[in-house]
A and B are shown apart, each in its own frame.
Chain A
Amino acid sequence: MLLEQADPVLNPNFEPEVLWFALSPLLVLVGGALLLLVVGALTPKWPKGLSAFVSASTAGTAGVLAIVNWDDISDRGPQTLVAGALAFDKFAMWATIVITVSVILVSLLTDDFIRDTPNDGPEVYALYLVAAAGGIVMASANDLIVLFLGLETLSLALYVLAASNRRNDPSAESGLKYFVLGGFASAFFLYGIALVYGGTGSTNIGEMVVAIGNTTAGDNDAIVLAGIALLLVGLAFKVAAAPFHIWAPDVYQGAPSPVTAFMASAGKAAAFGAVTRVLVSGLPSFRDDWQPIIVVLAVMSLVAGAVLSVVQTNVKRMLAYSSVSHAGFLLVGVEAAARTAGDPVPGLGISSVQLYSLLYAVLVIGSFGVVTVVAGDRDASLTSFNGLAKRKPLLAVAFTIFLLAQAGVPFTSGFIAKFGVIRAGVNEESYALAIIAMVTAVITAFVYLRIMLSMWLREADEDAPAVTVPFSAGVAIAIAATFTIAAGLYPTPLIDLTDTIQLVR
């Protein structure tokens, strides 16, 4: 559609209709980023905390606009925007909300972390907003090229963010590693797009589906299948699914903790948005081909994430491997969605993935928030958490809540998230996958117990640096902890909302 209508020869006066309000969350984020960069560069030093405030309130505005748009979609139904380049559906709006919530919480965390360091300034926040815009484009793209643009916008911002602690070698290493490997993965993804285009004659998801439906079976299958394989490599890298997860622990460990929180929350939500768009929405007729690959990725992520997290001694690395295992859980939901991809009645998969990504985003930001506060710039070794319960009881309680939630203990949001994806999987009769997921959850529970053990039962070292909880970080952690418990006790509203999520193409 995009290509035909925009073809200047056929239709010289063509101008795609633009629903500006539907795009408003994106525009607000980009506007906020520009404001921070341009005004920040032209005016003298800003008062402390103002950049973080601008970033958080921009994201907040975008989030509110997304909620308004959500209602519009409820009333008028979903559609595509900008000549079919973007999907305007509840899936996209939910991803927008997840990503903006992440930006708000991460901005609060970042404020004190970089204050009074040479890294302070509006740049980091501008990058958050740009990355958020990229992530939203990924999750709402209805065209593979547009999706790639979003992916690169997000990734480039994340590369810089990972290296943003300029005086710190691990941070630079983390940025470089992520850049090199990420660029490699992007190349795979791009080649995948090219092959799928070769097989279907379009990069627009709607047209792809039509084209695949029209061709007689087997015509261009080989090319499309090769394309799917390459697309999967790129996507699996972005979601940090094993065996494409190797970058995650190093990058998570080296990057400044708030940035790690951002990668694990917004980055993951965006990447799973892209997975859903490309596979479930774009390639449903090949679902029998890529669904087994999802199973393999899920099992490998669950097992690798769980087993490798056990041997870590650094809390950030533990959480990095645990995020690999969480990617495995999300893939269980994707696998469920795969089995009903393209069916008139969507299964439970997509809504369970979206519910998971919101709940996980909040609790992973909380977890890395505590790491930010406790370890600061230093190495987040397990021993640095010793005796935290005595030193900072409330912080220890909050971290315990997050860890229990990551383990999937009832009355926390993590349990609801796990219940959702396992429920979706079981409904599609993926019993083996569900059992593997739950058994590996037991292994990861050991890791969370280890951290709790050192917080509650070990004594702190004599020379342990004092832990102070800065106000804004404290607010972020408190919000995340409250949400984690509240969503665990009464998840009904969130479930009601995610159950109405649908995809349009």
Chain B
Amino acid sequence: MIAAEAATAGAAAFPLLSALIFVPMIGAVAILLTTKSRPEFAKLIGLLASVMTGALTIYMLKEFDQGDAGFQFVSQQDWIERWGIGWHLGVDGISLFLVVLTGILFPLAIVGVDPHHGEKPYLAWLLMLEAGVMGSFLSLDLFLFFIFFEIVLVPMYFLIGGWGYEDREYAATKFYLYTFLGSAFMFVALIATAFIASDGLGGVTFDLVEIAENGNIATTTARWLFFGFAVAFAVKVPIFPLHTWLPDAHTQAPTAGSVVLAGVMLKLGTYGFLRFGLYLFPEAAVWSRALWLTLAVIGIIYGAIAATMQKDLKRLVAYSSIAHLGFVVLGTFAFTSQAITGSVIQMVNHGVSTGALFLFVGWIYERRKTRQIAELNGLQKVAPIFAAGFMVVMLSSIGVPGLNGFIGEYLILLGSFQTARWWTVVATAGVILAALYLLWAYQRVFHGDPDEANQSFPELKVKEGLVLLPFLVAIVFTGVYPKPLLDRIEPSVDRLVAHVAENSDVETDPSYTTQRGEFENEHGEESEGEESHGDEEGEG
């Protein structure tokens, strides 16, 4: 008991979240200082920094108090006092698993694929990217969030431009400008938010919690401001019709870049909606929900249909991301606890399964120097383990019960059905389409007899298998036993949903704000939901 207390006290004193940002940043600088003649130092430092960050996130996960809905490990320092800007970091159930995902995905991406040249700058950029992504997920200050949100563009630009495929210059520039354009609106909106909210706060502050809890922004103003933020997030997610940068960027990025881009960077958008959209402007979010739900559903169907049509395997996975993130947006704007919990889980799941899919596509390209589906066939015969791994990941992406993808999509659809019925009905068709395009692709690539070019397709290597293992563990574990995740995510989501309900006229029925116990039970939400809600309160 005393030991446990001491540990918590130690955890509070150690700036864990700042360390999550600074360890990769220092690693990146250290890599730049290594000499060219000893490239192994760069690799070593890169691995060390990313593994250390990953270990820190796991430590954070262990220390995370699952009953607490508020922000934990909070670190608050003055930075630019006169402008009301502080170094304010914190993690709650919504960001927790995204941070852990980031911490684990980066070392795997670094180990999983070797760049073919310029390892030193490559690793430095990757670590800088990690620092930026971590910072975005952890920031509780509008200014701080914005600078991290923006800075990730630079390493990603150079990763795509420097280590990508044929059209990399075009893709990198398009990626940068598209996202930058979105941020332009957010930049103005966030400054305006700080100033407009300052009337009731006794001074200008960019502190998210302060503004969201105590700031008083007039309804119409808040709607405008919300749209300023929403444009930036919609580009990042991406929400149809702002998605056109994504297929290019994903396809042209080097494998590690795609893994990170799909795995965590797209989540900056969906996470932004939850943290800065719903939390800051609940009324505006509710007011505009029909728009977002519609765009989300269009994204689901459009992404799926477009994915079906692709000839390039990597482009197919890229379009599938649009569909998957459509589900996340759908869940976000359903405003039920279940749906938002599902969205958070889906964000993590998509990171895991799409990250793994991109790794597979990268390995296929390394072996065959092509990503064209038409040129690949019969791989299952020559590389059965490779095919089996791909199959599991693909099934997870489709959302087969027992694997992680199912949990997220199911919760989203279940939660959304209560408040956004017809949108959910259409979205459900997207689940079927996902099975169509992925299974069809699998069939074309892996089934049949291999032709001459595919005869010598090498089997999964040990190193690749080891990289894949954490992905498979996450896929199966989450699919079979999601409770540990749900336990940590739900309190924060409940708090967010309550915040939205309090500050808007959304018809949130308290009976389904928590929905843990009856997860397998589609019927009788009413009565059991109430019980479950009561339990929650009793625990708290």
Contacts and interface: CB of A to CB of B under 8 A. Distances in A.
A492 interface: yes
Interface stretch (A192-200, A203-211, A423-431): A423-431
Interface residues of A, dominant DSSP: helix
Given A411-B147, A426-B191, 6 more contacts: A410-B147, A426-B195, A438-B185, A442-B184, A449-B177, A495-B83
A415 interface: yes
Contact of A445 (B82, B143, B151, B177): B177
Interface in B147-165: 147-148, 150-151, 153-154, 157-158, 161-162
A491 B82 CA distance: 11
A441 B188 CA distance: 12
Residue among B161, B169, B185, B187 having the largest count of chain A Cβ atoms under 10 Å: B187
B131 to A, nearest CB: 11
B81 interface: yes
Contact of A492 (B80, B146, B148, B184): B80
B187 A438 contact: yes
Contacts of A446: 173, 177
A404 interface: yes
Nearest to A432: B188
B257 to A, nearest CB: 15
Contacts of A419: 83, 143, 187, 191
Interface in A392-425: 404, 409-411, 415, 419, 422-423
Nearest to A397: B32
A410 to B, nearest CB: 3
Contacts of A457: 161-162, 168-169
Interface string B162-203: 100000110011001100110011011001100100000000
A415 B177 contact: no
B169 A453 contact: yes
Given A423-B83, A442-B177, A449-B173, A409 B150 contact: yes
Contacts of B187: 419, 422, 438
B162 A456 contact: yes
A1 interface: no
A459 interface: no
B161 A495 contact: no
28 contacts: A404-B154, A410-B146, A410-B148, A410-B151, A411-B151, A419-B143, A419-B191, A422-B191, A423-B83, A423-B191, A423-B195, A426-B188, A426-B192, A426-B195, A427-B195, A431-B192, A434-B191, A435-B185, A438-B185, A438-B188, A449-B172, A449-B173, A449-B177, A453-B169, A456-B158, A457-B168, A457-B169, A495-B80
A212 B148 CA distance: 49
Nearest to A495: B82
A499 interface: yes
B79 interface: yes
Interface string A447-472: 00100010011000000000000000
Contact of A491 (B80, B154, B157, B161): B80
A496 interface: yes
B344 to A, nearest CB: 27
Which of B158, B177, B192 has most A Cβ within 10 Å? Answer: B192
Q: Which of A404, A439, A442 has the most CB of B within 10 A?
A: A442
Given A438-B185, A438-B187, A449 B80 contact: no
A441 B176 CA distance: 12
B32 to A, nearest CB: 9
A309 to B, nearest CB: 14
A422 B188 contact: yes
A405 to B, nearest CB: 11
Contacts of B192: 426, 431
- Size bracket, chain B contacts: 20 to 34
Contacts of A439: 181, 184
A133 B339 CA distance: 67
B23 to A, nearest CB: 17
A495 B204 CA distance: 15
Contact of B82 (A441, A442, A499): A499
Contacts of B172: 449
A443 to B, nearest CB: 8
A499 B161 CA distance: 40
Contacts of A434: 188, 191
Contacts of B79: 492
Nearest to A420: B83
A409 B188 contact: no
Nearest to B158: A456
Interface in A18-37: none
Contacts of B161: 453, 456-457
Nearest to B188: A434
The CB with the most chain B CB atoms within 10 A, among A410, A411, A431, is that of A410
A442 B191 CA distance: 18
A449 B176 contact: yes
Nearest to B151: A410
Nearest to B195: A427
Contacts of B184: 435, 438-439, 441-442
A284 to B, nearest CB: 23
B76 to A, nearest CB: 16
Contacts of A431: 188, 192
Nearest to A457: B161
A445 B158 CA distance: 14
Interface string A78-120: 0000000000000000000000000000000000000000000
Contacts of B195: 423, 426-427
A449 B153 CA distance: 12
Interface string B378-419: 000000000000000000000000000000000000000000
B176 A492 contact: no
B81 A442 contact: no
Contacts of B80: 491-492, 495
Contact of B180 (A445, A456, A496): A445
A449 B148 CA distance: 19
A424 to B, nearest CB: 10
Nearest to B173: A449
A419 B150 CA distance: 13
A442 B181 contact: yes
Given A427-B195, A431-B188, A409 B82 contact: no
B188 A445 contact: no
Contacts of B147: 410-411, 415
Interface in B22-60: none
Interface string A470-505: 000000000000000000000110011001000000
Contacts of A496: 82
A434 B181 CA distance: 13
Contacts of B157: 449
A427 B151 CA distance: 25
Nearest to A492: B80
Interface in B52-70: none
Given A445-B177, A445-B180, A446-B173, A409 B154 contact: yes
A195 B143 CA distance: 46
Interface string B134-153: 00000000010011101101
Contacts of A492: 79-82
A55 B81 CA distance: 37
Contacts of B154: 404, 409
A496 B148 CA distance: 23
A49 to B, nearest CB: 31
Nearest to B187: A438
A346 to B, nearest CB: 15
Contacts of B177: 442, 445-446, 449
Interface in A226-244: none
A499 B80 CA distance: 12
A184 to B, nearest CB: 36
A445 B81 contact: no
A333 to B, nearest CB: 13
A61 B176 CA distance: 44
Nearest to A430: B188
Interface in B78-93: 79-83
